Structure 1
């Protein structure tokens, strides 16, 4: 995986956090939940990047 994937995942997580905070501030539970879901999705993707990198390191 590339550095670009890591940056993209971090950006997706930041957008999710912004939505979560906006939802909390405005009392919009749906937006808050959507933000939390986007953060979780980005974290799973990021974990996949790290697993792939670890496996590649072990194989090399």
Structure 2
């Protein structure tokens, strides 16, 4: 799992970790400072730890 950080390219469908939680990207985009996954529900879906590595949430 890739750690979310500003400046990375976020790929659609990939799982990213931010502050100990996992999020699946809804769209490809460049991560911007001040817009982490927990603050941008239009861009990321939080997923349960059991769903990490699965193609379904």
TM-score with structure 1 length normalisation? 0.22
Which structure has the larger Rg?
1
More strand by percentage: 2
Greater relative contact order structure (CA < 8 Å, 6+ sep) = 1
More helix by percentage: 1
